[in-house]
Amino acid sequence: MKFSRYITLTALLLAACGPAADSRSPTVNPVVSRSADSGVPAKQLFGAKRSGSAQNPAPHGSYAKGCVAGAEQLPQTGPTWQAMRLSRNRNWGHPETIDFIKDLSRVAASQNGWNGLYVGDISQPRGGPMLSGHRSHQMGLDADIWMLPADRLDLSVAEREKISSISLRRAKGAYTNSNWTSQHHAILRAAAKDDRVARIFVFPGAKVQMCNDEKGNRDWLRKIRPWFGHHYHFHVRLKCPPGAQGCVNQDPPPRGDGCDDAREWVSNILNPPPPKPRDPNAPKPTPRREHTLSDLPQQCAAVLQSN
């Protein structure tokens, strides 16, 4: 069932990524619009920017099709965090995301065996599509947090390129392994309880583990969403900040704690349902087209163009 839902979701995403009529006028900048018209993939334009735009902070668009103005850079090292893989230059986010990460890192630092957080990808300096990896993380409102307990906070730049996080999964994500600790539970709970957070993606076995272990209030579990991958890190997605016009929230997670849903994911991992026979009359799925600048919200041209 989950897999068919995934297919539906993919279909929706594909539909959302389809060619969009560009009814915009007037053009913001001839140089930018020419490169958009020439079909340069937007990921090349955004991937080339080394710093945030000199604009008021604002997320534009949606998580998998947008950009961010006035992004702030998470300092490479703080009292309770280190940004990892600095060569990727993806430690940029909306200021609310940066604040959230700092706050969560203080919670992490209060956990046994943790001195803070190792922070993975947030966004590129101006958000947007990336040359490699993620489809989301485009508005500066998504952040990956490593599962590896941050004990040392004096890792050199080179060490931060080299060391890896740890996986917490067993049996393809159906269960947690022995790296899972109650501290992971506590950090994920603190993140989910934060009002700024919309949802958190983590592998299905971790969600079920938290469902089984939580003896107190369970409301926060609703925001913990089982998903593929996400066993080396968890992914926090913030809501559009208050008053952010042109920032499109995702529908909130379904009501309830979502634990039955997560158990169904697990049972589908353990006993995969047979693949559905393909309807020979069904139209062929259209391959996903690269986004160009004209597919993104209009403001993203100005975000690119700004100093």
- Please tell me the distance from the alpha carbon of residue 10 to that of residue 290, in angstroms, as a whole number: 15
49 or 235: whose CB is closer to Zn ion? 235
- Please tell me the distance from the alpha carbon of residue 145 to that of residue 150, in angstroms, as a whole number: 10
In whole angstroms, how close is the CB of 21 to Zn ion at the nearest point? Answer: 30
200 or 293: whose CB is closer to Zn ion? 200
- Region from 57-65, 141-149, 184-192, 221-229 binding Zn ion, contact rule CB under 5 A: 141-149
- Please tell me the distance from the alpha carbon of residue 291 to that of residue 13, in angstroms, as a whole number: 13
**Of all residues in this chain, which one has the CB nearest to Zn ion in the complex?**
235
| Interface residue with Zn ion, options 46, 52, 61, 144 (CB under 5 A) | 144
For residue 170, give Cα distances in angstroms to 150, 164, 177, 272: 22, 18, 5, 16
108 or 141: whose CB is closer to Zn ion? 141
| Interface residue with Zn ion, options 235, 240, 257, 259 (CB under 5 A) | 235
* Angle of CA points 301, 302, 307, to nearest 5°: 125
In whole angstroms, how close is the CB of 137 to Zn ion at the nearest point? Answer: 6
In whole angstroms, how close is the CB of 235 to Zn ion at the nearest point? Answer: 4
- Please tell me the distance from the alpha carbon of residue 138 to that of residue 298, in angstroms, as a whole number: 15
- Region from 75-83, 136-144, 158-166, 181-189 binding Zn ion, contact rule CB under 5 A: 136-144
Residue from 52, 41, 130 nearest 88 by CA:
130
- Please tell me the distance from the alpha carbon of residue 239 to that of residue 165, in angstroms, as a whole number: 26
In whole angstroms, how close is the CB of 147 to Zn ion at the nearest point? Answer: 13
For residue 144, give Cα distances in angstroms to 66, 90, 121, 209: 18, 10, 5, 20
Give the interface size with Zn ion as a residue count (CB under 5 A).
2
In whole angstroms, how close is the CB of 68 to Zn ion at the nearest point? Answer: 15
Residue ranges binding Zn ion (CB under 5 A): 144, 235
